[in-house]
Amino acid sequence: MIVRDSEFFISEIFRSIQGEGNYAGINSLFIRFQFCQLTCNWCDSKYTWYEKSGSFKLYSKKELIDLIENNPCKHIIFTGGEPSLYRLDLLYNKNKKFHVETNGNIIPILPLDITLADGTHINRQAMNEKIIEQFNWVVSPKLKNAYQEIDETSLCFWASRSYAIFKFIIRDIEDLDEIEYWQKKCSIAIDKIYVGIEGISLHSQLRPEIVDAIIAKGYHFSPRLHIMLWGNKRGK
């Protein structure tokens, strides 16, 4: 399969609240894109990784623009999978507030030519930064607990952009040291860092000793509201 500009493979579309980050609690329309170049071991949306890992639908640019324009939600959240595999700038609507949840290993203002593990080929042109700088980019670099590698060049790019905040997911207090390493390595502003706790149950989110450590580091705590309310239920 080849994915080109103006083609958008969508896993699911649903309405819920934003569960994490700097807009937590906001009533939003979620558009979940199919395909991802990473394979995080604790990923809660593995059905978006590959061509045969879940069901999805092909949307044209016009179809997706019309869907966004006609939806009553002001906040539109592009999630995945990995949304930056696609030309998100082509979907811009000045009357909506767009949010992008990305793993941060792709620089959107550069052309992309990548082949995934299942053979799916992604080929898109560079995004227009004048457009995407109006989006709220939630960059979620995957720490060692996800068994992935952070791309330093990409992370430092995001750290230099005023339109990006950072959401790290940790398992244990020791993971905070890794966040601090990248914070200093790429000069990430400390007030742009949000830290959430890995897990898919209410109990997994109630770890005050970890929150105390997050506070001591000077980071924001990002409770995963959707997990606390609905667990790992799809469409939430």
Residue type, 37: Q
Nearby residues of 74 by Cβ (< 8 Å), 6 or more positions away: 95, 96, 97
Q: Is 98 helix (H, G, I), strand (E, B) or coil?
A: strand
Give residue 234's pLDDT.
86
Per-residue pLDDT of the chain (236 residues; tens, 9 = 90+): 878 788 999 999 999 999 999 999 999 999 999 999 998 888 888 899 988 888 999 999 999 999 999 999 999 999 999 999 999 999 999 999 999 999 999 999 999 999 998 999 999 999 999 999 999 999 999 999 888 899 999 999 999 999 999 999 999 999 999 999 999 999 999 999 999 999 989 899 999 999 999 999 999 999 889 888 898 888 88
**Residues 84 and 100: beta-carbon distance below 8 Å:** yes
Domains annotated for the chain, with CATH where assigned, are 2-230 (3.20.20.70)
Query: What is the C-alpha to C-alpha distance for residues 168 and 198, in angstroms, rounded to an integer?
Result: 10
Q: Spell out the long-range contacts of 211-217 with Cβ–Cβ below 8 A and sequence spacing 24 or more.
A: 213/173, 213/176, 214/176, 217/176, 217/179, 217/180
To 10 degrees, the CA torsion angle through 33, 193, 152, 226?
Answer: -30
Give residue 68's pLDDT.
98
Q: CA-based Rg of the chain, rounded to a whole angstrom? A: 17
Give residue 236's pLDDT.
81
Nearest 5°: CA angle at 60, between 54 and 65? Answer: 105
- Count of beta carbons in the 10 Å neighbourhood of residue 86: 29
Give residue 89's pLDDT.
98
Give residue 147's pLDDT.
85
Query: What is the C-alpha to C-alpha distance for residues 91 and 99, in angstroms, rounded to an integer?
Result: 12
